Amino acid sequence: MLEDNIWMASLEVYTRNRKWVVGYICLAGGLALLERFIHINSGASIFIGVMTSTFLAIPAHIAVLTQLDPEQVSDWLKERPKAFFSFVKRCLLLGLLGAIAPVTIAIAMVIGGVRPSFALLAALVVWVFSGIAAFAKWGTMLPAVIADDDQTLAVAGQRGSKVFGYAFPRLLISFGLVTVLFVAILMLLSSLLGIDPKDSSAASLILSVAGAIIGAYQIVMTSVVLSRSYLRARPPVPPARRMAFAFGR
């Protein structure tokens, strides 16, 4: 699966794990709908969003790294109860690493007399590339959780140095291009169907579901890129060993 087209490989993983995709869509769509009725603070929203994404990302990583069937993922998680939260913790760490540069730049610009609105816009642009760079450099710690390999920041950085040129442009697709398509499709649906994004009516559920469907593909593509990067960065693993970590032996 190392050399397959990234779009088709991601679609294959997406369809193979349709049970997990549907579960994610229900969770993410339900959460988006809930936020229309109940105020959830930004910190809690980020944490819940990462946990929801992990619900789909782990099966996607397993699909690339192991020979397990999607039906065996539940058993894999039951045998490794700490793996889920270890994955979540590292996702949050990667997000923090990606936020350091834009926050620093925004603060420096505001102190320097730049209008806050312009500083925020500049920070958002920097955040996109900084976030992608953080995942390209240290993101292999996520598949390392699945492979039960070294998940430290230092070792992940060493792996990232080997595959940064491979990971960054492909993550630019999953983080950047797919996000642009995501926003464009939602705006188009909103315009065609005459739906107010802030409307709490049943019709607005369409936007939430459409967003979750695209978001699920984005998570899968990111997982495929990171798992491929991990496999490229580490020495070849004999098939017996690959099956061993898949089944916990």
What's the rounded Cα separation, in Å, for the pair 129 and 235?
Answer: 29
Q: Is residue 52 part of a domain?
A: yes
105 domain-assigned: no
Distance CA 1, CA 175 (A): 21
Tokens encoding 23: 């579960």
Residue 145 inside a domain? The answer is yes
Which of 111-115, 142-146, 184-188, 214-218 is predicted with the least confidence, judged by mean pLDDT? Answer: 184-188
pLDDT of 14 over the 90 cut: yes
71 assigned to some structural domain: yes
Residue 190 in any domain: the answer is yes
pLDDT class for 243, splitting at 50, 70, 90? very low
Span 49-100, pLDDT tens digits? 899 999 999 999 999 998 788 888 888 888 888 899 999 999 999 999 999 9
Rounded to whole angstroms, the Cα distance separating 225 from 209 reads 25
Does the residue 102 lie in any domain? no
User: Percent of the chain, pLDDT > 90?
Assistant: 49
Cα 222–Cα 119–Cα 165 angle in degrees, nearest 5? 30
The DSSP 8-state label assigned to residue 236 in this structure reads P
Please count the structural domains in the chain. 1
Q: Measured between alpha carbons, how far is 6 from 224 in angstroms, rounded to an integer?
A: 8
Running DSSP on this structure, what letter comes out for residue 112? Answer: T
Q: At what angle do helices 42-65 and 18-34 cross, to 10 degrees?
A: 170
Average pLDDT over residues 178-195: 69
Tell me the mean pLDDT in the region 131-153.
Answer: 95
Count Cβ neighbours within 10 Å for each residue of 42-53 and write b for 16 or more, e otherwise: eeeeeebbbbbb
At 33-54, the pLDDT tens digits run 777 677 777 778 888 889 999 9
**Tokens 């990667």, residue?**
94
Token couple for 102: 């834009």
Rounded to whole angstroms, what are the CA distances from 172 to 31, 73, 118, 177, 181? 26, 28, 24, 7, 13
Pairwise CA distance, residues 106 & 102, whole Å: 6
Q: Which domain holds residue 46?
A: 6-97+141-149+165-247
- Of 96-100, 205-209, 212-216, the range with the lowest mean pLDDT is 205-209
**pLDDT tens digits, residue range 220-230?**
999 999 999 99
Asked if 206 and 170 count as a contact pair (C-beta separation under 8 A), the reply is no
In a domain, 231, yes or no: yes
Query: What does the DSSP 8-state code read for residue 71?
Result: G
Q: Is the pLDDT of residue 203 over 80?
A: no
54 contacts 87 by C-beta, under 8 angstroms: yes
Which amino acid makes up residue 172?
A: L
Question: Would you mind telling me the total number of residues written for the chain in this entry?
Answer: 249
DSSP 89: H
> Is the predicted pLDDT of residue 238 greater than 50, yes or no?
yes
Stretch 167-180: mean pLDDT: 85
pLDDT band at 165 (very low <50, low <70, confident <90, very high): very high
